[in-house]
Amino acid sequence: MEKIEIIEILREWNYWDRELPSTVKRDFYDIKISKFINKDEVVVIKGVRRSGKSTLMLNQIRKLHIEGIPKNEILFVNLEDPRFINHLSLELFELIKETYLEYMNPKGKPYIFLDEVQNINNWEKWVNKEVELKQSFITITGSNSSLLSSEIASVLTGRYVSVDVYPLSFSEYLLFYNIEVGSKFDLVSKKIELNRALNLYLKDGGFPRLVDYPDDEKKELLSSYKNSILLKDIVARFRLKNFTVLNDITAFLLANSGIIQSISKLKNNFSISHEMANDYVDYLKKAYLIFEINKFDYSLKKQRVNEKKYYSIDFGLSNLMRVPNREFRGANLESMVFLELLRRGYKVYYYKTSNDLEIDFVVEKDNRIVQLIQVSKTIKDEKTRKRELAPFAKAKQELHLDKVDSVLISEDATQSLEGGVKLINIKEWCLL
């Protein structure tokens, strides 16, 4: 590529001569990223496509502007720009840097933001060079397995900080509708707005751009997201030929979020080999479309061989794959709690007692089990109440967890229940 072509592309993506577009703050991520943005370590922002990673970069660029960093000391590179498509190589990185330095002439150490960096093979070699020689502050985003924690550690020789980004949490979703909740009184005074927002959230999911789309276009947008993830992050990366089977397994796991599965079941359901079923599930995990959790056991060997639970990255995608006219609110509430636990930094398992009672979540923090959690739409029905409460005592007995909190999250009012179980309303749990 010629330098004049490159600077023309860079000018369109950067804000050297114009104002940044308005974005919604995501304080949870913005604060975390800003702590490391000017350190000599790579900031790695990773997560499913369309979860808002590029916007988080723009938020950091805005913060740098406010702090007085000259605009010409900031470079944003979108590696999914189609004009780069035939030139994606390490040489392109060097040529972009040379072009930027020549045309923009930054006086200080530049801040370089590389969006969807996985599109260039061996990207880590150039990034390592920039950081180790202290030539640039580097922030990168990625949407697939090239940025999984296990792989980053092996390819980034210097220090790095990793930030996992998810679609909008319920509290972030409310900000898009200018609804703020800071107290229990707000939960009461804004009850109608909150209930309306929760209904929309559980129907549409948390991908940020969906908020701006009319209802009749949301399904089409979600479908395009799903296809883009499958084609770009799985089919192209792993050179798959059987898209139909991949698409069918994806639909099945997204629709059945939170249900215990096994590779053998998938093998039989789709009439494929055990190896193929295992590989396709692995690809979906690496593209951040699904999460796999183990049945809790003090034996790691048993954890590995027991059946898994799979959760969807987004209930909008799950709803897209489900049959119409059926009620999935309980399943979506469970997924909502699961994703919030991940955001809060917990490690999560499920558990089944010896008499086949299931605990939705065994929650671990700093190598210690801190909570047992059940999720239910409501426990007003006595049969449901007994079913949801029964596993706590048995699980505590079998796992020797006498002093661990027992929490039931539902849409009912917060209250104390028998057996030391605390019922917490899901809006209160998420927002306060």
Q: What is each CA distance from 364 to 164, 169, 342, 423, in whole angstroms?
A: 18, 20, 11, 20
Stretch (H or E) spanning 301: helix 300-305
**63 token code pair:** 């913060």
Pairing of strands 368-375, 347-352: unpaired
Measured distance CA(87)–CA(78) in Å, rounded:
13
User: How far, CA to CA in Å, does 112 sit from each of 162, 173, 257?
Assistant: 16, 29, 38
Residues 6+ apart with CB under 8 A from 419: 389, 392, 393, 406
Q: Token pair for residue 255?
A: 């629709």
Q: What's at 91, amino acid-wise? A: E
- Cβ count near 144 (within 10 Å): 23
Among candidate residues 167, 191, 166, the one with its CA nearest the CA of residue 427: 191
Q: 121 by DSSP, 3-state: which?
A: coil
CATH topology of domain 3-165: Rossmann fold (3.40.50)
Question: Do the domains spanning 213-326 and 329-432 agree at the CATH topology level?
Answer: no
d(CA 393, CA 357): 10
Query: Which DSSP string do the residues of 61-109 spell out, in sequence order?
Result: HHHHHHTT--GGGEEEEETT-GGGGGG-SHHHHHHHHHHHHHHH--SSP
DSSP category for residue 119: G
Residue ranges in the chain modelled with pLDDT below 70? 144-151, 153, 158
Instruction: Name which of 362, 423, 363 is nearest 388 in CA terms.
Output: 423
Strand partners, 347: 364
The pLDDT of residue 159: 83
Q: How is the chain split into domains, by residue range?
A: 3-165, 213-326, 329-432
Q: What is the CATH number of domain 329-432?
A: 3.40.1350
Whole-number percent of the chain with pLDDT over 90: 91
Q: Which residues of 361-385 are buried (b: 16+ CB within 10 A; e: fewer)?
A: bbbbeeeebebbbbbbbebeeeeeb
- Dig out the tokens for 215 from the structure: 């209802």
Phi–psi pair at 62, nearest 5 degrees:
-60, -45
Report d(CA 325, CA 197) in Å as an integer.
21
Write down the CATH number for the domain with range 213-326. Answer: 1.10.10.10
- Between the CA of residue 187 and those of 136, 180, 312, what are the distances in Å? 46, 10, 28
Which tokens hold the place of 143?
């949407």
pLDDT of residue 84: 97
Q: First vs last Cα of the chain: how many Å apart? A: 52
290-293, strands of its sheet edge to edge: 259-261, 308-312, 290-293
The candidate with the shortest Cα–Cα distance to 52, out of 13, 24, 22, is: 24
**CA-based Rg of the chain, rounded to a whole angstrom?**
23
By the 8 A CB rule, do 291 and 254 touch?
no
What integer pLDDT is reported at residue 155 of this predicted model?
A: 78
Q: Is the dihedral of CA 49, 52, 58, 61 positive or negative?
A: negative
Q: What are phi and psi of 295, to 5 degrees?
A: -70, 130
Instruction: Write down the pLDDT at residue 156.
Output: 82
